[in-house]
Amino acid sequence: MDYLAGLNPQQRAAVENTQGPAMIVAGAGSGKTRVITYRVAHLIEKGVDAFNILVLTFTNKASKDMRERISKVVGTEAKNLWMGTFHSVFAKILRVEAEKIGYPSNFTIYDTDDSKSLIRAILREMQLDDKLYNANFVYNRISSAKNNLVSHVEYINSAEIQAEDVSNKRPMLGAIYETYTKRCFKAGAMDFDDLLFKTNVLLKNNPDVLNKYQQKFKYLMVDEYQDTNFSQYTIVKKLAAAYQNICVVGDDAQSIYGFRGANIQNILNFEKDYPDLKVYKLEQNYRSTQNIVEVANSIIANNKNQLEKNVFSDNESGDRIKVSRAFTDNEEGKIVAESIMQDRTSNGLSYSDFAILYRTNAQSRAMEEALRKLNVPYKIYGGLSFYQRKEIKDLIAYFRLTFNPSDEEAIKRVINYPRRGLGDTTVDKIIVAADQHDITMWEVICDPQKYIAGRIANQLNDFSMLIKSFAAESKKLDAYETALYIAQHSGILKELHIDESVEGRSRYENIQELLNGIKEFAEREDIEDRSLAIFMQDIALLTNDDRADEKDKETVSLMTIHSAKGLEFKNVYVVGLEENLFPSQMSLNSRTDLEEERRLFYVAITRAEKKLTLTYATSRYRWGTLTNCEPSRFISEINAKYLELEVVKAPKTSIDSDSFDGERRSWSQQRDSFSKPKPAGQSSGSTIANRPKPTVLPTAHIPTPGFTPDAAASFQNGMEVEHEKFGFGKIVNLEGNLPDVKATVFFQGLGNKQLLLKFAKLRIVK
């Protein structure tokens, strides 16, 4: 096939020029993926060995799609590419080189839940206030340090960092970081951030290893370069140093992950690292109508810190962008749901052509209620992952112990599941013994008579023999046979099979689905190693953005804008465009944060192909109080000639751009006041006074799909939660000690309710 024939001049230039440093600035909808895949194919067609090409992506799905496209051009040679996410590629390298940094090759990869569980255990052992040293905060602090290549030693020895922690009344953060690092090492475990941090350590301390991979990866390509953090930037720079055949692809206007540590300066300052850089700009948008592209351009033009480009579209002009104003968030949901029904019927569209995008997950409630009333099927993305469900994590913990019995988080998870008389008291004794003798929990479990007195020695012996039997069987059986053996002999299958409740059947079916997935993996012919250990590595590296079934033909898609990045839909609704919601109140303190919010809005707009609708409410319930809402400043930044303002009244009226100027002037005046700092303690949304509050009729709450209650020990004051019956609420008070902690939770429309956490079945929303 002549893969170059279908490229425009800018795309073709980016594909054909393969030597030296290059940056491809790819505007939204500009055919970025096509250019990357054809560039790799072109290298192989020119005689470059596929084994010498490294392509780094941010999702497994992106790398899978690219590999499939490349294979259509070069055939089976595409299988020899080193292509995958940063974490998967460098986890693979670390498996090979682990001993050089003191790790076993079968190290466990801790997910976020594992890491936070370990942090909570450390906080208890150090007898620290878990409100001041909140596990989420501590985890993010450690993650930020690692992403900036600050080790626990450097953290403790930094006078500046220590002064900051002292001023924030958290002087023990360094000690927690040190203990966390040592406990992970002792357990033969790395967290997600370690996969990059330890790769940097490996390359820095082992020049021979660095040279080995510099010679191996003679050509590097990095997708979504605007989303890289300092740790990723450093790895790429080191690997590319020998040949400098590095090509980065991205769009600074779509850099929206600053809260994860992404540094937009990596792409803005790329030329400083490579003075001979060639820059290729992909500016033609093939996705959206001209009006949508112009709206996006008018928004992003307000950002000062950006690469210059002129995105355009040769598609049809399309409809003007509708702006709908509702009086309440519930009415906003009704407007969107009715619009979807009308458009689908009038234009012969399917439900999968529609997406509703919002700034925060909490906004989905009003949308869901409105869609359900009209029997519109929908699916929420970015919720609880299949692999985060309790029953799945339980069985996977047994898998982890099979290959790494030193994995302390896995031990604590399943040592007494199913119940075998080894409760929390026993676990505490094991931990104390392990700390006293500077050995692992597994070593204590394997020789309990030596370390722990009492009758539990027999149960511990039985548990250790069980895990050892799993390891022995794994050497004789394939992935599926090993997994089935563990599921049966651990007792999990039996435990769930005898639970005849709806929830129990669902959990049992989930285990069966996991086994089905392993069966499919074991029968794959495109990979050499089909062991359970490799399957475990693959699922440990799944990202939240890896959605196997992005669009269900029979459902409207609901998701946060962050989750929507990389997707496209014919009709898009961006809802909740109000000050302090979008842009977020947290972003109003600095230009850097505000510009990231504006880039997030840009991403939302450019998901739309044919029709874009923006909505906002003039009042919204926030923790039981009806508050006034001001339209987002982002609306006033759009040129009015591209907009059609719809004000929902009785009867409904529509205002075109000719009469829009008055509304626009009002917004402009309000915007001036938005930028002024508010006095401390003053809310920007004033309580609505002298107005009767609407009657709120209790409705039956339909739990979020995949609803799984969290453990009582997980809850903290201020958390947003979901109850199967009462719906969404916020914890306003906790009292008592585990296991009898009582929570006071405020539920919208219901007021405060007191619940015993061990019976309440609450799920943490955030």
Question: For position 587, what pLDDT does the model report?
Answer: 85
pLDDT tens digits, one per residue of 410-419: 999 999 999 9
**Looking at the structure, do residues 451 and 534 belong to the same domain, yes or no?**
yes
**Looking at the structure, do residues 466 and 510 belong to the same domain, yes or no?**
yes
- CATH code, domain with 595: 3.40.50.300
End of a domain among 516, 543, 570?
A: 543
**Cα gap 476→482, rounded to integer Å:** 8
Asked if 702 contacts 693 with a C-beta cutoff of 8 angstroms, the reply is no
**Looking at the structure, do residues 210 and 320 belong to the same domain, yes or no?**
no
Question: For position 154, what pLDDT does the model report?
Answer: 96
Question: For position 598, what pLDDT does the model report?
Answer: 95
Residue 710 lies in a domain: no
Residue 44 lies in a domain: yes
Question: For position 360, what pLDDT does the model report?
Answer: 85
Q: Which of 449, 453, 466, 459 is nearest to 422 (CA)?
A: 459
**Cα gap 573→355, rounded to integer Å:** 6
- CATH code, domain with 152: 1.10.10
Question: For position 552, what pLDDT does the model report?
Answer: 55
Residue 307 lies in a domain: no
Residue 696 lies in a domain: no
| Count of domains for the chain | 5
**Looking at the structure, do residues 96 and 200 belong to the same domain, yes or no?**
yes
Residue type, 355: A
Q: Token pair of 167, please?
A: 């001023």
Q: Which of 341, 430, 421 is nearest to 377 (CA)?
A: 341
Question: For position 690, what pLDDT does the model report?
Answer: 35
**Looking at the structure, do residues 524 and 428 belong to the same domain, yes or no?**
yes
**Looking at the structure, do residues 61 and 146 belong to the same domain, yes or no?**
no
* Structural domain boundaries enclosing 349: 312-385+549-645
Helix axes of 591-605 and 290-300: crossing angle, nearest 10 degrees: 180
Q: Residues 474, 196, 111, 741: what is their CA dihedral angle, to the nearest 10 degrees?
A: 140
- 224 flagged as catalytic: yes
Residue 423 lies in a domain: yes
Residue 214 lies in a domain: yes
- 46 flagged as catalytic: no
**Looking at the structure, do residues 95 and 208 belong to the same domain, yes or no?**
yes
**Looking at the structure, do residues 72 and 202 belong to the same domain, yes or no?**
yes
**Cα gap 262→259, rounded to integer Å:** 7
Q: Is 188 annotated as a binding residue?
A: no
**DSSP secondary structure of 332-360:** HHHHHHHHHHHHHHHHT--GGGEEEEESS
Beta-carbon-side half-sphere exposure of residue 4 (alpha carbons within 13 Å): 14
Q: State the catalytic residue, choosing from 33, 214, 290, 585.
A: 33
- 116 flagged as catalytic: no
Q: Is 28 annotated as a binding residue?
A: yes
Q: State the catalytic residue, choosing from 59, 179, 254, 306.
A: 254
Please give the radius of gyration of the chain, using alpha carbons only, rounded to the nearest integer: 27
Q: State the catalytic residue, choosing from 607, 610, 620, 671.
A: 607
Residue 690 lies in a domain: no
Strand partners, 221: 55, 247
**Looking at the structure, do residues 80 and 119 belong to the same domain, yes or no?**
no
- 598 flagged as catalytic: no
End of a domain among 187, 208, 243?
A: 187
What SS3 class is residue 108? strand
Q: Is 32 annotated as a binding residue?
A: yes
Question: For position 467, what pLDDT does the model report?
Answer: 96
End of a domain among 475, 510, 543?
A: 543
The sign of the CA dihedral 211, 191, 105, 85 is: negative
Q: Is 199 annotated as a binding residue?
A: no
- 338 flagged as catalytic: no
Asked if 581 contacts 359 with a C-beta cutoff of 8 angstroms, the reply is yes
Residue 347 lies in a domain: yes
Q: Which of 763, 652, 585, 66 is nearest to 335 (CA)?
A: 652
Q: State the catalytic residue, choosing from 10, 11, 32, 227.
A: 32
**Cα gap 728→730, rounded to integer Å:** 7
- 32 flagged as catalytic: yes
Q: Which of 730, 711, 714 is nearest to 722 (CA)?
A: 730
Question: For position 744, what pLDDT does the model report?
Answer: 86
**Looking at the structure, do residues 533 and 571 belong to the same domain, yes or no?**
no
**Looking at the structure, do residues 207 and 72 belong to the same domain, yes or no?**
yes
Question: For position 727, what pLDDT does the model report?
Answer: 84
Q: Token pair of 492, please?
A: 């999990």
Question: For position 1, what pLDDT does the model report?
Answer: 53
Which helix (H) or strand (E) element contains residue 679? Answer: none
**Looking at the structure, do residues 223 and 167 belong to the same domain, yes or no?**
no
- CATH code, domain with 400: 1.10.486.10
Q: Is 30 annotated as a binding residue?
A: yes
Question: For position 676, what pLDDT does the model report?
Answer: 37
Q: Is 253 annotated as a binding residue?
A: no
Would you say how long the chain is, in residues?
Answer: 766
Q: What is the mean pLDDT of each run of 10 residues along the chain (766 residues)?
A: 83 93 93 92 92 92 87 88 93 95 93 92 92 90 94 95 92 96 95 96 96 96 93 96 94 86 89 92 94 94 88 93 91 94 92 94 85 89 74 94 94 93 91 92 93 86 95 91 94 87 81 86 78 84 53 81 91 95 87 93 96 93 73 92 70 37 41 36 35 36 77 83 85 79 80 81 85
Q: Is 33 annotated as a binding residue?
A: yes
Q: Tabulate helix, strand, coil % of the chain (nearest 5).
A: 50, 15, 35
Q: State the catalytic residue, choosing from 193, 223, 368, 409.
A: 223
